Structure 1
Amino acid sequence: MGNILDYLDWRGDITFEQAPFNEVDNLILACFSYLELDGIRGIQDGNTLYLEELSENFFAEKKDEKIKAQTTFLKNIPELLRKMARSDRYRKCRVGGFVNEILSSEIQQFAAVTIELPDGTVYISFRGTDDTITGWKEDFNLSNGIVPSHKRALEYLEKEGRYIQSMLRIGGHSKGGNLAMYAALQCEEEIQEKILTVYDNDGPGFPEGFFYVRDTEKILKKVTRIIPEASVIGMLLTHQKEPVIIGSTQKGILQHDAFTWEIMGPSFIRKEGLTRKAETMDLRLHKWIDGMNEEQRAHLITELFSVLEATGAETIQQILDGGVKSLAAMAWRLDKLEPESKAMVQELITGLFASWLELLPMPELDKKRFLP
């Protein structure tokens, strides 16, 4: 078993003529949009570069110290590009249509890129959120309905889709999977006819009622939804498509990292269902979030993330690495919350960090507080 980097080592010499597009190729291209391609000439305004050319330009333009400064998840992305550029399978893909916009009024980012494959199809990749606490908060905030990123994803798909004559695959990881779903469901019928598959890789769902606005059956039958067995983000809100559940080398919430997803050959390792802890967490999330109005959900999310941010960590991994120190900071912040919020946030923290909490040498008082 391996991950997407191993897949490129194992099968990078196999062209799309020799083996057709598969679900692992999807995840590679979904993660490709995390690349910081700003400043790389030749991939905007209708221009394209072969992926091997793009790689040369990227590493000539970007300094090593900038790459090393990124989070654990993002540090793998340049290596993904290196391996793709050296592979027979990907090096002659053409890359274009790159956009990266900060929607400052809503404190959101939208980024997307288009990849033309040697098999004659095109994959439109929407960037998701990274492994920072801020990124997770953005995923949770999708529970409050349609955001500017959704509208930009729809505009992007319709603009690209009008002049692309090839059949399309659309996808993304995390928030990117949610954007892919929204754009595919809302775009004009002419573009929907071009869509082969929509890939939602552990993306959050939509508020209750979203799927009843218009006929969705045409697109839903083309959707492949993939989540790890301890998924949190991919179980948020409402989904109308049963997921493919897969294995990960990590535990708990760290399974959201796509580089931990287990692969054998051209496929992910299947699991029979969610872990018991993931099922419990899903029930907790729906218990609180589904019954709230927009204002109440926004307040709960703000309170939840104020507890996580009290640790001083920037990523989920840093919270876990902080051990008892992180727990003490979260407990201190919890005690500052109003009673109703405190009960809800405490239960959500218990669900999110169950595996980590069980291993911590915490005081008896904290055990009673956080562990059932």
Structure 2
Amino acid sequence: MANSTGNIIDYVSRRTASFDERPFNDVDALVLASLAYQRMPAAVPTLETALERHGTFAARVRDLPSYRKRAGVSMLGALRALLRAPFPAVTLADAYAALDGGDFAHDAGYTGLADPELTEALFAGAAANPRFAPIRVGGVRERFSEEDQTQFAAMTMLLPDGTLAVAFRGTDTSFVGWKEDFNMAFQYPVPAQRSAAEYVAHVAGLWRGDLILLGHSKGGNLAVYAAMHADDEVRARIRRVYSLDGPGFPDEVVAGEEYRAVADRVVKIVPETSIVGMILETPEPCRVVRSNEWGLMQHLAFSWRVRGDAFVEAPGVSASSRYFNRSLNQWLAGMSAEQRERAVDALFAVLGASERKGLLGLRDVGPKQVAAMLGTFAGLSDEDRRHLVEAATLLVKASLSIGGDPGEREERDDDSRDAER
């Protein structure tokens, strides 16, 4: 693959050198962020289990006999666990072995927008690769609440050199997850951002070592937020923060001290026609990568081109991406927080009334139908309705990326272009 291009599946299938030989790189970050879309099997310990057993010295004393039995260590090894919390985890290889083919499905354990078969292939390649197979994964936490409009998930992976790679899951296919993303236009912080900061505080308090925070889509935004709100001691341990086509923050946030304190460690990578990564302010310089898809479909991590140990880079984002960024941010700047909230509530009230179950249910809906649904919603100006149709069109396009027949997808894309005109 040194002279040819592929994607992250090709990368985990062919690049087998250890982290001692080739240090952690940008492509590794996208691999781990992509694995985080898969719900881990029960064999992978949760953060709650770690906190209960090892969160305090008293808890470690109580758990000592059980820990010695579980870990199969000597009394001396068990006593060391009193001073330093052990990292309860399984290897990526063992995590994959605990999953079966049925777990890689949208109605089972897979939560992302890509074809679940791609994630299964990525997991299989990583589990067979001596670079990734020994990585230990634990500290899983998932929170989902329709009432609080919260969708959050994270896991921690222990690299061979002792670095803790914290991977935040991006937006799933639920309307709850997408509404929380849209809520960022008027609410700061959203519940998932607070959950991310809390998660990093727990991880850093339990386990020693440097930290790499990473995530794709909303996960990238959560990684940056968690770094911004870490205390000084934890922040000093953070080596890098990867926002992989993740949305930005309101302009008053990126102008603040907390953001400036971590800005030099933020690595933001976006595809040429980035849409999600251009939402809200994005002051840090973006590295731009090539994709084998077009438009919104470039958001999918499996479309990013890889050569050797690095992404194939492009000179900059496309004119359409820059136009979207300017138009959206100007639109948001011209609205009050109340107007933004009303518009978002209107959009998801209509989508919820459609009895569609998240983005999976939108696959059979064209933007014209969504426009008709929004047309029945009272109290919207013509301009608000037009902008909501544009926002709904993005959701429909995102839904089209979830599997489906290529011919049907092309036909729906034509429908999307007609609606945009």
Q: Return the TM-score normalized by structure 2.
A: 0.76
One-letter code of the match for 1:73? A
1:99 aligns with 2:99: no
Structure 2 partner of 1:360: 414
Instruction: Give 1:14 shift.
Output: 1.5
Which runs of no fewer than 5 residues in structure 1 stay unpaired?
none
Find 1:235's aligned residue among 278, 282, 293: 278
Cα displacement string for residues 17-38 of structure 1 (whole angstroms, at most 9, x for unaligned residues) = 2211110000111122222125
Structure 2 partner of 1:79: 121
- Pairing of 1:192-203 with structure 2 (within 5 A): 192-203=235-246
Distance 2:355 2:325 in 1: 27
Quick check: 2:183–2:190 contact (8 Å CA) kept in 1? no
- Pairing of 1:219-368 with structure 2 (within 5 A): 219-304=262-347, 326-337=366-377, 338=380, 339-346=382-389, 360=414
Distance 2:151 2:367 in 1: 30
Instruction: Give 1:330 shift.
Output: 2.8
Structure 1 partner of 2:6: 2
Distance 1:185 1:27 in 2: 21
One-letter code of the match for 1:49? V
One-letter code of the match for 1:370? E
Aligned to 2:99, the other structure's residue is in SS state helix
Give the aligned CA root-mean-square deviation in angstroms: 3.2
Cα displacement string for residues 282-324 of structure 1 (whole angstroms, at most 9, x for unaligned residues) = 22211211222222112223444567778876676986x75xx
Distance 1:157 1:336 in 2: 44
Distance 2:413 2:95 in 1: 44
Instruction: Give 1:240 shift.
Output: 2.8
Distance 2:254 2:209 in 1: 28
Structure 2 partner of 1:24: 27
One-letter code of the match for 1:5? I
Distance 1:169 1:234 in 2: 20
Quick check: 1:303–1:341 contact (8 Å CA) kept in 2? no
Quick check: 2:37–2:112 contact (8 Å CA) kept in 1? no
Over 3 Å counting, the alpha-carbon distance change for 1:229 and 1:135 in structure 2 is: farther
Quick check: 1:98–1:114 contact (8 Å CA) kept in 2? yes
Aligned to 1:97, the other structure's residue is in SS state strand
Distance 1:252 1:2 in 2: 19
One-letter code of the match for 1:35? Q
Cα displacement string for residues 13-71 of structure 1 (whole angstroms, at most 9, x for unaligned residues) = 21112211110000111122222125335454331112212222233994879559866
Structure 1 partner of 2:37: 34
Instruction: Give 1:214 shift.
Output: 2.8
Aligned to 1:124, the other structure's residue is in SS state strand
Aligned to 1:54, the other structure's residue is in SS state helix
Structure 1 partner of 2:69: none
Aligned to 1:113, the other structure's residue is in SS state strand
One-letter code of the match for 2:370? M
Distance 2:11 2:165 in 1: 19
- Pairing of 1:120-269 with structure 2 (within 5 A): 120-130=162-172, 135-143=177-185, 144-269=187-312
Quick check: 1:74–1:130 contact (8 Å CA) kept in 2? no
Aligned to 1:178, the other structure's residue is in SS state helix
Aligned to 2:285, the other structure's residue is in SS state coil
Quick check: 2:254–2:260 contact (8 Å CA) kept in 1? no
Instruction: Give 1:186 shift.
Output: 0.9
Over 3 Å counting, the alpha-carbon distance change for 1:288 and 1:305 in structure 2 is: farther
Aligned to 1:221, the other structure's residue is in SS state helix
Instruction: Give 1:132 shift.
Output: 5.7
Over 3 Å counting, the alpha-carbon distance change for 1:333 and 1:154 in structure 2 is: same
Over 3 Å counting, the alpha-carbon distance change for 1:356 and 1:271 in structure 2 is: farther
Q: Return the TM-score normalized by structure 1.
A: 0.85
Instruction: Give 1:130 shift.
Output: 2.8
Instruction: Give 1:103 shift.
Output: 3.5
Find 2:159's aligned residue among 111, 117, 124: 117
Instruction: Give 1:272 shift.
Output: 1.6
Aligned to 2:114, the other structure's residue is in SS state helix
Structure 1 partner of 2:420: 370
Instruction: Give 1:115 shift.
Output: 0.4
Quick check: 2:197–2:230 contact (8 Å CA) kept in 1? yes
Aligned to 1:216, the other structure's residue is in SS state helix
Aligned to 1:182, the other structure's residue is in SS state helix
Quick check: 1:255–1:261 contact (8 Å CA) kept in 2? yes
Quick check: 2:210–2:237 contact (8 Å CA) kept in 1? yes
Structure 2 partner of 1:15: 18
Distance 1:22 1:53 in 2: 23
Instruction: Give 1:165 shift.
Output: 2.1
Identity of aligned residues (%): 30
Quick check: 1:34–1:74 contact (8 Å CA) kept in 2? no
Aligned to 1:100, the other structure's residue is in SS state strand
Larger gyration radius, structure 1 or structure 2: 2
Over 3 Å counting, the alpha-carbon distance change for 1:137 and 1:264 in structure 2 is: farther
